[in-house]
Amino acid sequence: MYRAGRVTARDLVKAYAWFMVADDLGVITAKDHLRNLRELMSEPDLAKAERIKDGLLKDESSAAKG
């Protein structure tokens, strides 16, 4: 949704973060999406996506415990 801008505003940083989560979970197509998005993004945006991903995983871990 974030990559295409459907239902929500287009946000490549958030899209990249979610595709990294998908890749960590073993979604086969995630690597292709990451490669395609990486070509469109700056290094600072990639770093921001990494921080967002870490937050997403932290939030999910906290929810599972609580």
Q: What does the pLDDT read at residue 56?
A: 86
Q: What are phi and psi of 58, to 5 degrees?
A: -65, -45
Whole-model pTM: value is 0.78
Res 5: pLDDT:
67
**pLDDT of res. 47:** 96
Q: Over its length of 66 residues, how does the chain's per-residue pLDDT go in tens digits?
A: 667 667 677 789 999 999 999 999 999 999 999 999 999 999 999 999 999 998 887 755 555 555
Based on the number of CB atoms within 10 Å of its own CB, is 53 exposed (0-12), middle (13-18) or buried (19 or more)?
buried
